[in-house]
Structure 1
Amino acid sequence: MPDRLEVRIGEYGSALLAESQLTPRDVNRLRALQTHGRLGLEQTPAGWRLKAGATVGLLVLDRIRLVMEPKFAISGDRLMGWLAYALGAPAPLPVTSRHWATDPEGYADLVATALLEQCERLLREGLRRDYVRRQNLEPVLRGRLDFVAQTTGRYGQLDKLHTHTFDRETDIWDNRVLATALQVARALTTSPELARDLHTIADAFPKAPPADAALRALDRTRYTRLNGRYRPAHTWARLLLRGGGVTDILSDHGMVADGLLLAMPALWEAVVRRLVTDAAVPHGGHAVPSNGAAGITVRGDLGSTSAFRPDVLLNLPDRDLKGHMLLPVDAKYKRYDRHGVAATDVHQLLTYSAGYTSGNDRRALIVHPSTGGHSYRILTVDSPRGCLGNVHVLGIDTQTLPQEAAAWVGSVLQSPNG
């Protein structure tokens, strides 16, 4: 990959580029990302102004390498730990992790490292083989003779035989999609050692199909006992091939860019969904659907029916252990460890509490990222007619391990005030 000028922007930050630094192809790709709300692009008399939103990661353009950093100072291995937790995939080994704040490779190299480790594991165990049908021209009969091809193509000659064979080979889609992902990872990294390792291991896989064909194959993949061990590698491959667009994390609706981008609010929602579910299970709770008949709907307005849907709806044992209660939980990727909760969010959580909890215990949870330790406070909303409800605000320390955070959330749910 040719040397490119590196431009680094923090979340919601901006950078001014000279007009010559963006090619027409770059502008088209950035406009596409702007349409999907990933960043902003504005032409000024001095050139182009790039404005970052809540999307972080790497975008490789023709003349620049754009790095968008998260606003929370999270080391690379910890960021990958939370991402792996949300995806249910193993993170790369700590000894191979790099730190976002100090290394230019950052997030992209960490994902490439995770893919590399999983591919190395598959090679050690032996790549999966399956029966592949081939049409061959052989000097001896092997497999099944293709009579039509033999009579129309050879006109009675028997020196070469048209055959159909079924052989167990590694040239199957489970392996092909990883070959494509390894190529993409190699194009994104700036580390010579990592690029060399990716190139070396790619030679052990079959020929790589185009990225769009690999993505379609991944979408069709169903895991059984035969290919279940491929799931972690495919998870990282899907992340790379979609440029960050794994299901429920980031979806660009078919728009392709050369990079690896991650929508942090969507990632935080995925983290919170798993975090509170894991926290509730040891205490007899579980997540339940919040749509359909269990949803909060608004009817009678102009246009279509709208709905209020919390990110997670927990079914928990009641405090007196005589029944169960519903607890709505909403993920907020906001600095509520430093600022007060916005009035719109309070209104939203009060709607959830009114719709899902009893009149004697109206409450709902906000879960936000924090630094410097976990935090917990309760907002009480009063009126002339009494208490309208309580909004419990939980701050999750992003420097801790996800499993430790889940245990802490579980203790809060079981506390008298939880």
Structure 2
Amino acid sequence: MPDRARVRIGEYGSVLLADSQLTPRDVKRLRALQARGRLGLEQIPTGWRLKAGATVGLLVLDRIRLVMEPKFALSGDRLMDWLAYALGAPAPLLVASRHWTTNPEGYADLVVAALLEQCEQLLREGLHRDYVRRQTLEPVLRGRLDVAAQATRRYGQLDKLHVRTFDRETDIWDNRILGTALHMARTLTTSPNLARGLHAIADAFPKAAPADAALHALDRTQYTRMNTRYRAAHTWARLLLRGGGVTDILTDRGTAADGLLLAMPALWEAVVRRLATDAALPHGMHTVPSSGAAGITVRGDLGITSAFRPDVLISLPGHDSTVRTLLPVDAKYKRYDRHGVGAADVHQLLSYSAGYTPSDDPRAVIVHPRTGGHSHRVLQVDSPRGSLGSIHVLGVDTDTLPQQATSWVGSVLPLANG
């Protein structure tokens, strides 16, 4: 079919689409994303009104390519740094022939390029091989003769032999996963250079398996000394196969993953969790789960029990080793560099500080993204009976490297400065 028209929409923006631009299959897919709060879709007399949420990326529909752009305009190099940091993957290497630059498809081509680079590196080093059992019909004896199959299927004829072989091959799941991801990547990119690169190496990998089978294999993959070099390539493959991001966007509810969508709040939460973990370690601190017994629960109301769970809890050293002091840190994907902290977030953080920190110094931390330099301000919450607590609002400059942001987060930790 002819090239799909490109429709661009900003994060939290909206766009009008003609009725002819969406097929019934498109509407079904968009409704599935709407049911999960990823976007809004409303039918109007002239067609459809599509409203974006905090989900950005590329969605390939039958007649259009929908590009949802983030409100933070990051360079391609920096976006890859933060994405790799959140996923716990090594940052892709810069090569002379490929630069991490954004293009009209947003960050989709960046992920495709990262996958291609890792697959090219694996090919240069040689694909991993492992022993694979096969039952084949051969003109000569190879491996072991399958006596039962020979007797019941060939009735004593010896012109063809049913044999069982056990050879080292590249047709194993480590490579099949990448073959499936490369096949999917070809449907996402419009870059001629990337398309040529994908086409050039596609035949070197085993035939693509169904996406759900590849994802199941990824979930079962265990890395050893033999296949640990596949970890980075599998990370980018998982991003493509799941439809994007640090959580499933397009695959867990039956929606076809013909796109690459990223839930920005979930990505920012993953970034902040790792920033807090990396910042705490040099000061003898560590993070602990905020679920289970560590959660703040609300009981006695109508309906199910609710809970308050901060994104990160940092265990702080104290004078009494039997009592653990915790610092709640919450990730907020909001422009708190341009407007004040909302009342709902103040109430939430005060609940965290009351539940986790000492009564003589109740505090909590908000970490939000910004551009143009780091920022730090402290909200003092007072009442007629005294102080209710303090909220440290830390703005992390997304134009910097994650390693620089780690030291900045560490500077606001209690006892970090002695």
Do both share a fold (TM > 0.5)? yes
Equivalent residue number for residue 136 of structure 1 = 136
Superposition deviation, residue 172 in structure 1: 0.5
With 319-328 and 334-343 compared, the bigger mean Cα shift is at: 319-328
Structure 2 unpaired stretches of 5+: none
Other structure's SS at 2:412 match: helix
Superposition deviation, residue 388 in structure 1: 0.6
Equivalent residue number for residue 188 of structure 1 = 188
Equivalent residue number for residue 61 of structure 1 = 61
Other structure's SS at 1:412 match: coil
Letter in 1 for 2:387: C
- Whole-Å separation in 1 of the counterparts to 2:248 and 2:207: 30
Contact 1:276/1:406 (<8 A) preserved: yes
Other structure's SS at 1:120 match: helix
- Whole-Å separation in 1 of the counterparts to 2:325 and 2:249: 29
Equivalent residue number for residue 19 of structure 1 = 19
Superposition deviation, residue 249 in structure 1: 8.2
How many pairs align? Answer: 416
C-alpha spacing 1:249/1:212, structure 2 compared with 1 (3 Å): closer
Equivalent residue number for residue 277 of structure 2 = 277
Equivalent residue number for residue 412 of structure 2 = 412
Letter in 2 for 1:397: D
Superposition deviation, residue 248 in structure 1: 7.6
Superposition deviation, residue 414 in structure 1: 5.4
**Equivalences for 1:218-233 in 2 at 5 Å?**
218-233=218-233
C-alpha spacing 1:203/1:191, structure 2 compared with 1 (3 Å): same
With 69-78 and 326-335 compared, the bigger mean Cα shift is at: 69-78
- Whole-Å separation in 1 of the counterparts to 2:415 and 2:99: 37
Q: CA RMSD in A?
A: 2.1
Superposition deviation, residue 245 in structure 1: 4.8
Superposition deviation, residue 256 in structure 1: 2.4
- Whole-Å separation in 2 of the counterparts to 1:380 and 1:110: 42
Other structure's SS at 1:186 match: helix
- Whole-Å separation in 1 of the counterparts to 2:2 and 2:84: 31
Contact 1:248/1:270 (<8 A) preserved: no
Contact 1:99/1:106 (<8 A) preserved: no
C-alpha spacing 1:61/1:339, structure 2 compared with 1 (3 Å): same
Matched, 1:207 2:203: no
C-alpha spacing 1:282/1:372, structure 2 compared with 1 (3 Å): same
TM-score, normalised to structure 1's length?
0.95
Equivalent residue number for residue 93 of structure 1 = 93
Letter in 1 for 2:77: D
1:338-362 per-position Cα deviation (integer Å, ceiling 9, x unaligned) = 1000010000000000000111110
- Whole-Å separation in 2 of the counterparts to 1:253 and 1:350: 36
Structure 1 unpaired stretches of 5+: none
1:238-287 per-position Cα deviation (integer Å, ceiling 9, x unaligned) = 11011115448887444324110000000000000000110111111110
Contact 1:77/1:94 (<8 A) preserved: no
Contact 1:250/1:266 (<8 A) preserved: no
1:79-135 per-position Cα deviation (integer Å, ceiling 9, x unaligned) = 1211110001123334534444xx213211000011011111111221111111111
Aligned-pair identity in percent equals: 80
1:144-185 per-position Cα deviation (integer Å, ceiling 9, x unaligned) = 111111112222222322110100000011100100100111
- Whole-Å separation in 1 of the counterparts to 2:35 and 2:354: 36
Letter in 2 for 1:347: H
Equivalent residue number for residue 377 of structure 1 = 377
Equivalent residue number for residue 332 of structure 1 = 332
Letter in 2 for 1:360: D
Letter in 2 for 1:87: L
- Whole-Å separation in 2 of the counterparts to 1:299 and 1:34: 31
- Whole-Å separation in 1 of the counterparts to 2:228 and 2:390: 44
Superposition deviation, residue 317 in structure 1: 2.5
With 285-294 and 273-282 compared, the bigger mean Cα shift is at: 285-294
- Whole-Å separation in 2 of the counterparts to 1:395 and 1:319: 31
C-alpha spacing 1:136/1:417, structure 2 compared with 1 (3 Å): closer
Matched, 1:71 2:71: yes
Equivalent residue number for residue 111 of structure 1 = 111
Matched, 1:236 2:200: no
- Whole-Å separation in 1 of the counterparts to 2:366 and 2:319: 20
Contact 2:173/2:217 (<8 A) preserved: yes
Letter in 2 for 1:170: T
Letter in 2 for 1:209: A
Letter in 2 for 1:226: M
